[in-house]
Amino acid sequence: MSALPHDLYCDEITGRTDALRAAINGADLDATVPTCPDWTLRDLAVHVGGAHRWVGEIVRTRATEAVPLERGPGFGPEGDDPAALDAWLADGAAELAELLRAAGPDQNVWSWGWERSTGFWARRMAHETIVHQADAALTAGTGYEVAPKMAADTIEEWLEIVAFVRAAGHEKAAELAGAKGSIHLHATDVPGAEWLIELGEDGFTWRRAHEKATVALRGPLTDVLLVFNRRLPADSDRVEVLGDAKLLDFWLEHSAFG
């Protein structure tokens, strides 16, 4: 699937931040996030808001070289007031979305990835916020759902990230090369939302396909997304794993990086 419209990613940044804010509103901000056990809910919120501000600095200055994190305009509000944290999150998301809309998708800016553009960052920050909203929702016990087109794009962007990081020599991801077999992702509630990932000596490839594989992960698209991004265990009763579950576990273990 090709990238979605730029404005849709901008809308998702603010919409998902609003959903994250709603999930943590009234929750214990010192609670541990099970899917990111080194973080509390407050840490999660500061990470998301800090990432928005850091990327906002890249876009605002049209940076063509890496921007140190400390050059971002503040990672977290002063004090522990939940209302201040909530406002800080909302302001950071709104500012980033505004900067990205004004820039459009084709401005040349630095990124760590395979494409150096404002469009890369709009997509990356949309999916970053989508996945971390899941962390907040799972911690707070609130509902979570992603629209089909955006959920499918979240999966495809993650495949692109894993491929890029593997090619760049990341130690864990590099071990995907040499593994044998195939993984079929099959959303049971969205026609056509299926992928075949084939592993081999040179790494892996993927395509949209409905084909028999070494292992299949089946379930609602949002739940397939959550398993694929390691936010829901593969043995959850919300999904079904058919075939060689060890291959799926191998993939999940070797695509586990920040």
The mean of the pLDDT values for the chain is 93
Q: Measured between alpha carbons, how far is 218 from 220 in angstroms, rounded to an integer?
A: 7
**For the segment 106-129, what is each residue's pLDDT rounded down to a tens digit?**
999 999 999 999 999 999 999 999
Tokens of 229: 């991004």
Phi and psi at residue 220, in whole multiples of 5°?
-55, 145
Query: Could you identify the residue written with the tokens 């999904």?
Result: 239
Q: Is the pLDDT reported for residue 72 higher than 80?
A: no
Tell me the pLDDT tens digit for each residue of 41-55.
999 999 999 999 999
Tell me the pLDDT tens digit for each residue of 185-199. 999 999 999 999 999
- Could you give all domains of the chain from N- to C-terminal order, each with its CATH number? 6-140 (1.20.120), 169-254 (3.30.1050.10)
Q: How far is CA 198 from CA 8, 100, 179, 206, 235, in A?
A: 30, 35, 9, 6, 22
How far is Cα 122 from Cα 59, in angstroms, rounded to an integer? 10
